[in-house]
């Protein structure tokens, strides 16, 4: 299935939570946003920034994506407040157990369409 802006928002946007997530944030949010069905998604980043801020990255510096050879990635000119969720090695499906790590980093996202919108989270740097 083609990556979509709706999937990007569901998996990565959380503008209304404070930037410093509680330790239980990832276990709750990964489930609530449908990333623990069928299997536990291993790594996922949530962005505590407005949609306007994230969408605007599609007009910032274009580059080759880090996790593919595609050239439709864009790197944020500023750092963003993010939370990384990483599946613990001891986690056993269906009990998807995550570490929650807050940080402020530049992000790299893939954009598609006209006008360009985010469709895939590539990396944080």
Structure tokens at 6: 């709706």
Q: Partners of 108 in the beta sheet?
A: 75, 123
Active-site hit among 12, 48, 74, 81: 12
Give the count of beta carbons closer than 10 Å to the beta carbon of residue 100.
20
Q: Where are the beta strands (DSSP E) in the chain?
A: 43-47, 62-63, 73-75, 80-87, 98-105, 107-112, 117-124
Judged by CB under 6 A, does residue 45 bind ligand T3P?
yes
Q: Pick one of 50, 59, 67, 95: the residue that binds ligand T3P (CB under 6 A).
A: 67
Judged by CB under 6 A, does residue 11 bind ligand T3P?
yes
Q: Give yes or no: 120 in active site.
A: yes
Judged by CB under 6 A, does residue 121 bind ligand T3P?
yes
- Residues lying near ligand T3P in the complex (CB under 6 A): 3, 7, 11, 43-45, 67, 84, 120-121, 123-124
């Amino acid at each position: 299935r083609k990556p979509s802006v709706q999937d990007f928002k569901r998996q990565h946007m959380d503008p209304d939570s404070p930037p410093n997530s509680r330790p239980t944030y990832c276990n709750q949010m990964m489930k609530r946003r449908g990333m623990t069905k069928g299997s536990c998604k291993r790594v996922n980043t949530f962005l505590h920034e407005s949609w306007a801020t994230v969408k605007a990255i599609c007009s910032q510096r274009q580059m080759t994506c880090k996790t593919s050879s595609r050239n439709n990635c864009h790197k944020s000119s500023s750092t963003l407040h993010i939370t990384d969720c990483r599946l613990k090695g001891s986690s056993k499906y269906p009990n998807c157990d995550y570490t929650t790590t807050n940080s402020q980093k530049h992000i790299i996202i893939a954009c598609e369409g006209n006008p360009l919108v985010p469709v895939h989270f590539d990396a944080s740097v």
